Every structure is written in C-alpha cells, then in structure tokens.
Amino acid sequence: LKPFWFRSRQAGDDADAAVCAMKSRVPLRRWRTQALSRLAVLLALPGIAATLLRAGGARAFACSPPRRAALAGSLAAAAAAWLEPAPGARTAAAFDNAVPEAARYLNRNAGPRPGDLGIKVRKLNRFETSDEPVLKECGYGPNCFSSTGDPDDPSLTTLLPTWKTPSGVAVPEAFAQLERVVRAYPPGQNGVDGGGFAVQTASAADGYLYAQFESLKKGKVDDVEFKIGKDGAVQVRSAGRFGMKADFGSNAKRLNYVAEQLRGQGWTAPPITKDTHPYYFSMNSGKTKVQCVGIDCPVNYELIAEEPGEPKDPAD
C-alpha cells in the first residue's frame, strides 16, 4: 500500500486524472515547495496576477493540460498588456529628428509621462479651482513653466503670463502659425533638445497642441503644451518629468525660441529671463565663476551651456 502522499487524485475529469497521476509520483513536500515557488512568482508580479485571477487564475495550479495551456495563453496576454509602454512613453532611442551625436549616448531615460496632461478644470490652491479648463500647473522644481497657477502664491516661481495671438487673427489661423513654428523647431538649438522632438497631438478644432522634446545626453523628455482660447489668450506649459530636478535650462530656452518666432508674426509672447524667473535661472546656472564665501557672494544667473554627461562607447 503506497503512502498517502504518493496516491493520485481520483476525482475530476479524465485529463485531470492523467496529469495528476504524473504529479502523484512527486512527494507531497516537494510539490508544496514547487507550488509555493510559483505562488511567490505570482505575488512578485501583481499586475499579471490580477489578470490571471480575472481569467480563471484561481485554478492556476489545476493539473489539466488544457487548463495549463489556457493559463499559459492568459499569462502571455497578461504579460504583454502589463509590459506594454503607457501612452506617450519613450523607448531608449532618441526621436527620428535627433542630432547625429545622440547616438553616442546610450543611457537614456525619458521618465514617465504625467497622466493628467491636457485641458481640465484644476485646483489652484486649497480653496480655489480654475473657472474653466486649463493646462496642468507646475510643481516647485526649477524644471517647469506654466500659465496655470495661483498668482498670489509667493512661493510659486514657475508661473508664466498667457501669450496672446495677433489682433484680428482667427484662432484656426493662429493655431496654424503656432504649429508651423513648433514643427520647424531645430533640435539642438542653444544646446538643448538634441534628442529631437515629435508633435503628439495637434487639434486645430480644440486649439490644442502637445509635443515631446528629448534631451541629447540623458534622453529626458519634456512635455510641452499650448492651448489657444477663443479670445486669443494662449495657455503655455513646458515641463520636465523628474520631480524637483533642474532641467539645465531646456524649458526656458525652448519656450524662448518659440516665443521669439511667434513675436515676429505679431504675437505677444514675453521672453523668460533672469529678471522674470530668477530662482529658475540660479538653479540652472553653471558654477559660480567668482571664488568667494558668505552671503555676499554674487548669484550666477547664466544658464548652463549644455546638459552634463559623457558619451558611452557602443562597444562597451
């Protein structure tokens, strides 16, 4: 008479019985160990585990070959869905219009795209919300500019005035001007955006344009949005994706280029300077050229010339 842990399970359909007969040749303790290992893998992959449970994952340890085949299919589908990049996510490669030098920099990290871009009614402070849908506000890091924010907040250093389209120019025509300027943007101008860019959304009907710009060396992506209102007021936002980290001047240099091109067509688009945004410029400047100690040291407001970083040999 065989010990109980060698006995095969007799219940279930014929397929279950056949496979369980094979499984029965494995001692119970070893089977439990294998089961626990599989369970640990499942718990380490919560996204896949949730999908499996919805697709019948509760029977994941069923011993029927058809069930295992179905489970394998569910696992593959779940893994594909779980690992699929989110909308707007960037791979390691730079954009197609990147400068040739971008191929030398292999360690690239675009960062996760914010999930709340676009035009929405937003909270401006603890007590107030916007009167109408607006672009996303900035945080407190020196890597963002936005025309959305509380103008009475003295700690907000990233607020921009709205731009204005030329008088007498209809919104569709103004949007066409804006889109032409953005699409003609030269990657690498003023030492920024060497990784190229791509317009993700351009809706003349909504007056909304969204583009992504990538840095040369680290592959960081900045999200840039414009919204032209019916009254000709233009909301603007240009922001990095990495929290409080400095952007090495990319957002200011980019917006200043676009603003300059539009001013030449009659737009009102004030430049970003050390006088309008001193904190941003001081945090994105190079090293102070004067050696001194104490509170009397002059502040350097000259933006860093280019993003720091060294190329990596592709053969490494």
Instruction: Give the model confidence (pLDDT) of 46-84 as tens digits.
Output: 554 444 444 444 444 444 445 555 545 554 554 444 444
pTM (two decimals):
0.67
3-state helix, strand, coil in the chain (%, to 5): 30, 15, 55
DSSP label at residue 220:
-
For residues 4-28, average pLDDT: 44
Backbone angles phi and psi of 93, in degrees to 5: -75, 150
| Structure confidence by residue, pLDDT tens digits, 102-143 | 998 888 888 999 888 998 888 877 778 888 899 999 988 899
* Average pLDDT along the chain: 76
> Whole-angstrom Cα distance, residue 250 to residue 223?
11
Residue 187, pLDDT above cutoff 90: yes
